[in-house]
Structure 1
Amino acid sequence: MSKHVRHTPLLQSLSKRQWTRIAAVVAAVGLIAAAGVVSRNFYQNEAPQSYSNVTAFSATDSAASRSATRGAIGSADKNTTFVTVKINGDPRTVLGEKQNMTTVKDVLETGNITLDPNDAVSPSLKTKVTEATVITIDRAGANVETSDTPIAFNEVRKETSSLPKGQEKVETEGENGVMETTALVTRAGGKVVSSNVFASWVKKAPVDKVILVGTGSDATSPAGGALGTTTPAGEIQSWAHDYLLANGYSEEDFTAANYIISHESGWSPTATNPSSGAYGLAQAYPGSKMASAGADWQTNYQTQFKWFIDYCNQRYGGITAAYNYWLTYKSY
C-alpha cells in the first residue's frame, strides 16, 4: 500500500471531522526530548473508544477532563503528573514523572514538542507548572497532515489431521493492516521544520495468512501448538522469535505474542496511544513502568519485549494466557 498524505492549509479551515480527531487527543506519554526536526510515525492498536474501567494497561482510555485524567493516572502511578498544552488552540495532555515536569520547558521536552523560531509561548519557558497550568503555543504556517501506512501481515502454519499428510491448504488469505498518523506539520521552503504527532492508531489490524498443513492420521501434536507457527516479518519480530525460543518458550508463545503486539502497536517501539498515553510495543501505561526492564525503555525494542514477557507471566501466568484474555477484552 502506498503512503497517502492529506493536507489541510490552515488550522482555522479544518473540517469538523479533523477538529474532532485532534480534540480526541488527551494524553501522551513522556517521549525522548529532541532538538531540531522531529518527524516520525507512531502506531496504535484500535480506534479510540470509551471504557468504563481504566486499567494500568488498557488498550484504550477516554479521559476527557482534568479530574478524569488525574484519576486515571493516579491509579496507575502516583509519581506521574500531567500538563495541558494547546498548539494553535488544539489541546494535548503531556504525561511525565513529577520530578521531571517542573517548568514549561520541562513539559515541552517531555512531550517531545519542538518549538519553531517564530512560535509564541505562554507562560515563559522558565515558569513553574502545576496540573492546572495550560501552556499555549501560537504557531504560524502549520498544517494538519494525516498519513496512512501499511502494517505487514504474517504467515501462520497450522497442522491438521483433516488433510492428507504433506498436503497444504490456505485457510485465510493475508491482508495488510493500516496505521493512521495525524500530525501538526510546519514547513519552510518546502521542507519539514517540525512535526508533532497528535494521534496514531491501528485503523485496521492486519489479517494473518493461515496455511493448514496436513498430518494425515498422525496423532502427533502440532509443532506450533493450537495457535500454529508464525513466520516472523522484519527485524524486530525475528529477534523476538529467536529470543523466546532461546529462553524456553514455544512457537505458540511467539504466535500469541505477535498477535497481541500487532494489534496493540504494529510492532512500533515508539507507538503512542492518543487518548491514554500508553507507550511502546506492549502499550504499557504509563510507559515509564518499562524502566524496570531497562533504562533505555523508550527506544529499545528488546527492553520493551522483555518487559512484555514479564508482564504476561506475572499477570496472566503466560503469553498464551494473556492472548486468550486479549481476545475476550481487546486489552490486557
Structure 2
Amino acid sequence: MATHHKAEGPSLRSLSKRQWMRIVSGVAGVGLVAAAGIATSNIYRHSDVVATDQPTAYSITDDTYAASRGNAREALDGDPTYINVTINGKTRTVLGTDFTDVKSVLDAGDITLEPEDTVTPALTDKVDESTTITIERAGAQMETEETKIPFNTVRKETDSLPKGEEKVETEGEEGIMEKTNLVTRSGDKVVSSNTFASWVKKAPVEKVVLVGTGVAQDTTTTQQDTDSSSDSNASSGSDASQSQSANSSIGTTVPVGDMQQWAHDYLLANGGSEADFTATVYIITHESGWSPTATNPSSGAYGLAQALPGSKMASHGADWATNYQTQLKWFWDYCKGRYGSIQGAYAFWQANHWY
C-alpha cells in the first residue's frame, strides 16, 4: 500500500519571503521550447530508488507549474527546503526535507550525472537555501518541442432528449504537451536526448455527447391533453430533478490508446465503474497528458499522476519510472486512501485544480 499524507499536514505558508522569492526565481528560470531524439531517457532518474516521505501529487496545469499551491504546499512532512539546480543554464527547483549535501539534493530530485558532467559545489559539500547547484554537460543543449494530446469523447445520458437521440454538447479540442530535452549531437545526428521537463501546456477539451433516455413526445395535441396538462405539471418538478441528476453524471468515456484501454479494462475487472474510468481519464489527462515520463520543471513531480517525488510509486513496483500500469495502480490507491474513492479525487480536482 502507498503511504498517503493527511490533508491537514504541515503548511508552507510559514516560509520566509526570501524562501518564496527563491521558489519564484527557480520557476522563472525554467526555459522551455523542443526536441526530437533517439535513446531518450529521463535526466531526473536515480538508479537506487527509495520511496521517501515527501509530498505526493499535484497539478502542473492551469497556474504555471502550480509550484506554490496544492499538495506541494500542504503535504510536506518535516521542515521544507527548496534548492535550485541549474543544468546547462536551465533551472528547476528540488523540493524536500532534511537535505544535507549536494548529493542528497540530486538524489531527491532523481538527477543522474554523466561521467563527464561538472558539478558545483562538490557532491559532499553542505547545502542550505542559499545554495544553487550547477551542472554543466559539455556538447549538450536544451531543445523543446510541442506534441498534441488527443481528446476523449464522453457520453452523458439525459432524459431531456428523446431516447435514441444524441446531441453534441461540447466539441472536442486537442491539448498541447511541451517537452524539453537536453540533447547531445554529433554533427546533425542526435547522440542522446535526455528529458529535462515535459508538462501539459494546454489540457485537451473533452467532446461531450448527450445521449437521450427520455420518452419521445407525441406531436398530436388534443383537448384532453390540454385539460390534463395541469396534472402533468404536478410531476414536472420531479422530472426536472431527475433530468438535472442525469445531466450531472460525469458520463462514460471512450478509451483512447493502449494505456487508457488497459486502465478501463483493469478497473472494470477489479470492481471499478465506468464513472471511475471517466474520473481517471480526466485527472491523468490534466496532470500529465498520459505521458508516463511527464516531469514538472519546478519540483520534479513525475509520471502519469505527477507523484512528488516520483519514487513514491516504488511502493507499487521497481519499474515505477517507466511502467504506466504500476503508476496507475499507485494513483488509484492514492485516490482511495486520500479521498475515499477515485470519484472523490475527481470531485476535489474539479473544485481545486489539484489533488
Give me the TM-score of the superposition, normalised by structure 2: 0.66
Distance 1:101 1:256, change over 3 A: farther
Shift in alpha-carbon separation, 1:21–1:97, aligned structure 2, 3 A:
closer
1:283 is matched with which residue: 299, 302, 306? Answer: 306
Name the counterpart of 1:312: 335
Looking at structure 1, the residues matched to 65 and 286 of structure 2 have their Cα atoms a distance apart, in angstroms, of: 15
How far is the alpha carbon of 1:93 from its aligned partner? 4.3
* C-alpha contact 1:154 1:230 (8 A) present in aligned 2: yes
Query: Aligned ranges for residues 194-233 of structure 1 at < 5 Å?
Result: 194-217=192-215, 226-233=249-256
**Using a 3 Å threshold, how does the CA distance of structure 1 residues 105 and 245 change in structure 2: closer, same or farther?**
closer
Instruction: Check whether the contact 1:278–1:284 (CA below 8 A) recurs between aligned residues.
Output: yes
Letter of the structure 2 residue corresponding to residue 290 of structure 1: M
Structure 1 unaligned regions, length at least 5: 1-18, 35-42, 62-71
Shift of 1:135: 4.3
Q: Which amino acid aligns with 1:275?
A: S
| Aligned match of 1:237 | 260
Q: Give 1:154 deviation, angstroms.
A: 0.7
Contact 1:175-1:206 at 8 Å conserved across structures: yes
Alpha-carbon offset, residue 216 of structure 1? 2.2
Give the counterpart letter for 1:308 in structure 2: F
Residues 1:237 and 1:97: Cα distance change in structure 2 (over 3 Å): farther
Alpha-carbon offset, residue 313 of structure 1: 1.3
Structure 2: gaps of 5 or more residues: 1-24, 32-41, 49-58, 217-238
2:124 is matched with which residue?
128
Read off the aligned partner of 1:155 and give its amino acid letter. T
The match for 1:23 is 29
Say which one has the larger Rg: 2
RMSD in angstroms over aligned alpha carbons?
4.0
Distance 1:110 1:151 in 2: 26
Residues 112, 217 of structure 1: CA spacing in aligned structure 2 closer, same or farther, 3 A cutoff? farther
Q: Is the counterpart of residue 252 in structure 1 residue 266 in structure 2?
A: no
Which residue is 1:321 aligned to? 344
* 1:175-196 Cα shifts (integer Å, max 9, x gaps): 1100111233221121223334
C-alpha distance after superposition, 1:270-304 (max 9, x if no partner): 21111122111111222222222223222221121
Matched letter for residue 131 of structure 1: V
Quick one: structure 1 residues 46 and 194, their matched pair in 2 at CA, closer, same or farther if it must change by over 3 Å?
farther
Alpha-carbon spacing, 1:176–1:160, altered in 2? closer, same or farther (3 Å): same
CA distance in 2, matches of 1:205, 1:193: 31
Equivalences for residues 116-195 of structure 1 within 5 A: 119-122=117-120, 127-132=123-128, 134-195=132-193
Give 1:291-306 correspondences, 5 Å limit: 291-306=314-329
How far apart are 1:86 and its partner, in Å?
3.0
